[in-house]
Amino acid sequence: MLLLATLQANGSVLLATSPDEVVQLEARAAMLTQQGIKGVRLMAREALLREEPALTLPRGSAGLLVATDAQLVCSQLSELVTEPVVRPTISVCFWSR
């Protein structure tokens, strides 16, 4: 089987739109930092809107930027992975076409 894969270093932002979600985001940021993940930054609503003015966020929203996040784009990933893989620093989701 020929496997074509590309690693895209694109970063990711998780959004929290309620006080409970903000607490969860803060805990996730602490866990990622403790695990040694670089580029972890909590962002207030105002900072998120400066970066992405098209967002519509309620007051009290926050974001978690992980600048070093990347995704693996693989044409045959569904043949390799039979169930989702979730670890503190890795998530692999798959779907069939």
**For every one of its 97 residues, what pLDDT tens digit does the chain have, with 9 covering 90 and above?**
455 566 666 778 889 999 999 999 999 999 989 988 888 999 999 999 998 888 889 999 999 988 877 766 665 555 555 555 544 444 444 443 3
Domain that holds residue 18: 7-70
- Could you tell me whether strands 85-87 and 12-16 are parallel, antiparallel, or unpaired per DSSP bridges? unpaired
Nearest to 33 by CA among 65, 81, 70, 4: 65
**Does residue 95 lie within any of the structural domains?**
no
**Does residue 27 lie within any of the structural domains?**
yes
**Does residue 80 lie within any of the structural domains?**
no
48, 57 contact by CB (below 8 A):
yes
**Does residue 15 lie within any of the structural domains?**
yes
Which residue matches tokens 């932002």? 13
Residue 51 tokens read as: 């970066």
**Does residue 89 lie within any of the structural domains?**
no
Per-residue model confidence (pLDDT) at position 74:
64
Residue 45 tokens read as: 């609503």
Per-residue model confidence (pLDDT) at position 8:
65
**Does residue 22 lie within any of the structural domains?**
yes
**Does residue 16 lie within any of the structural domains?**
yes
Number of structural domains (the chain) is 1
**Does residue 90 lie within any of the structural domains?**
no
